[in-house]
Amino acid sequence: MGVRLGVLALQGDVSEHIQGFERALRVMGEADGAVIPVRKPRDLEGLHGLAIPGGESTTISRLIGKNGLFEPIAGFDGGIFATCAGMVLVADRVDDPRVRTLGLIDMAVQRNAFGRQRESFEADIEVRGLERPYHAYFIRAPVAREVGNSVEVLAEIPAGIVAVRKGQHMALSFHPELGGDPRIHVMFLEHLFTGK
């Protein structure tokens, strides 16, 4: 298949996302796949998918603008895999005016919905499309408070919606790159190439 994936490498857990997608490609038998860091618009050329990692959403938003990446990412033809701060950035509404969102998914997101770093937690959650629970890491995580009709909710906990999909894009409030379980990365890639 020659899968080419990028990870936005401006701030956040970039190397963990690269490793997570490399692991998923191995599981899928895609030995000729590649995962590269993305820092400039030209780095997006030829990519099938792009991960926007967790980090600090106001900082990543500012750096996207500074590096001339806002329009190229907003108009990217491939799928976007957004985690934590990435979920904030792909939304069309967020509770912080300092964040310039990409407007790719019709949802309203609340930043730091669980409080500060010390309120971070782990939980086994049910994810639509997975046969068994997924162990999720929530670190200063956001939640979606509402989503549009075209958005598929993949996971929800009492605090709010924590995983969604719209077309080729997937957004998660947790960090699938941290636990070593490749199932969500594989789910994103399979949907990207088969629509299932």
Percentage helix, strand, coil for the chain under 3-state DSSP, each rounded to 5: 30, 30, 40
Write out pLDDT tens, residues 147-179. Answer: 999 999 999 999 999 999 999 999 999 999 998
Query: CA 176 to CA 184: how far, in whole Å?
Result: 7
Active site residue 30: no
Query: CA 35 to CA 140: how far, in whole Å?
Result: 26
CA 83, 89, 93, 99: dihedral to nearest 10 degrees?
130
Going by C-alpha positions, the residue among 75, 56, 61, 79 that lies closest to residue 6 is 79
**List 16, 17, 169, 177, catalytic entry:** 177
The overall average pLDDT reported for the chain is 92
Active site residue 84: yes
Query: CA 184 to CA 190: how far, in whole Å?
Result: 10
pTM above 0.85, yes or no: yes
Active site residue 146: no
Going by C-alpha positions, the residue among 47, 23, 32, 28 that lies closest to residue 1 is 32
Helix (H) or strand (E) holding 154: strand 152-157
Write out pLDDT tens, residues 98-123. Answer: 899 999 999 999 987 776 666 688 99
**List 17, 48, 169, 175, catalytic entry:** 175
Q: Which domains does the chain have, with CATH numbers?
A: 4-194 (3.40.50.880)
**List 16, 84, 169, 185, catalytic entry:** 84
Q: Which residues contact 194 (CB under 8 A, 6 or more apart)?
A: none
Least-confidence region, from 16-20, 27-31, 81-85, 181-185: 27-31
